[in-house]
Amino acid sequence: MHDILDLERYPLDRPDTPEWQALVTSCRADLDAGGMFSLDGLMDPDVAADMAVGLQAAFATESFRHQRDHNIYFRKSVPGLADDHPALTRFHTSNDTLCGDQVAGSAADRLYHWPMFARFLAATMGKPALFPMDDPLAGLNVMSYGEGQALNWHFDRSEFTTTLLLQAPAEGGDFVYRTDLRRDDDPNYEGVARLLRGEDDQVQVLRLKPGTLNVFRGKNTPHRVTPVMGDRARVISVFSFFDTPGVRFTDDERIGFYGRAG
């Protein structure tokens, strides 16, 4: 993995050493303080750039365009909220997706299936273990946001989201988030409404560099990616891990997310 990762700076290959433990401790502290951590340059930026360029033809001919109108909850309705409540304001999201079977053998695929990667992530998240999905489509996705495309406001359904940026756009494509807007015991609908009206002064903006790993606790922290501007797409790998091995999507879920079952 030394040919694609900076393992001198980030010793993911040396678990339980003082250097590995120090990195885990730092990442856990960042998660506790701000709900995320980033490893700038974990993947060699040239490797990331080469992968993004190498996938351009596949994005043009093989990708699935996933686009939907949705509210921040990705639900048709929320019990106790009127359909016209401002917390249910609707937005549009659009991106092009390549599935794991379409990027097999790539640098991102190698990282996803490297056991030391899952072991490191589990340690940063305080989990006994994490496992890649047993699903050739869903475990690893690479998403492209071209001009005008965006990922709009939402809460994540999973506890953590793990991504690695391959290519940054010339303009736009910023990661915008608001830490801990709600709690498991307090949905804070009025706070959500203020956010969606642009009235929340605790919103933050993160601009990642290619090759950067980002782990984000998005269940209670709403976030979005602003529309991309210009002819260079934002290209990002999304890694899905679970607490138990063997997790697969159903055929209906694959069709909904990727337009095909296999």
CB under 8 Å to 3, separation ≥6 — which residues?
A: 47
pLDDT tens, residue by residue, 27-81: 999 999 989 999 999 999 999 999 999 999 999 999 999 999 999 999 999 998 9
Alpha helix (H) residue ranges in the chain: 18-34, 45-54, 56-61, 107-112, 115-125, 189-196, 251-258
- pLDDT bin (cut points 50, 70, 90) of residue 159 is confident
The residue-averaged pLDDT of 230-236 equals 97
The residue-averaged pLDDT of 196-205 equals 96
Cα–Cα distance, 91 to 85 (Å, whole number): 14
pLDDT at 188: 97
Does the pLDDT of residue 158 top 90, yes or no? no
- pLDDT bin (cut points 50, 70, 90) of residue 157 is confident
Write down the pTM of the prediction: 0.94
Do residues 38 and 164 lie in contact, with contact meaning Cβ atoms separated by under 8 Å?
no
pLDDT tens, residue by residue, 8-23: 999 999 998 999 999 9
Does the pLDDT of residue 247 top 90, yes or no? yes
Does the pLDDT of residue 82 top 90, yes or no? yes
**Percentage with pLDDT > 70 across the chain:** 100
Cα–Cα distance, 229 to 231 (Å, whole number): 7
Domain boundaries defined on the chain: 18-258
Q: Which of 143, 259, 253, 166 has the alpha carbon at shortest distance from 212? A: 166
Largest alpha-carbon pair distance within the chain? 54
Q: Tell me the CATH number of domain 18-258, given options 3.40.50.300, 2.60.120.620, 3.60.150.10, 3.40.640.10.
A: 2.60.120.620
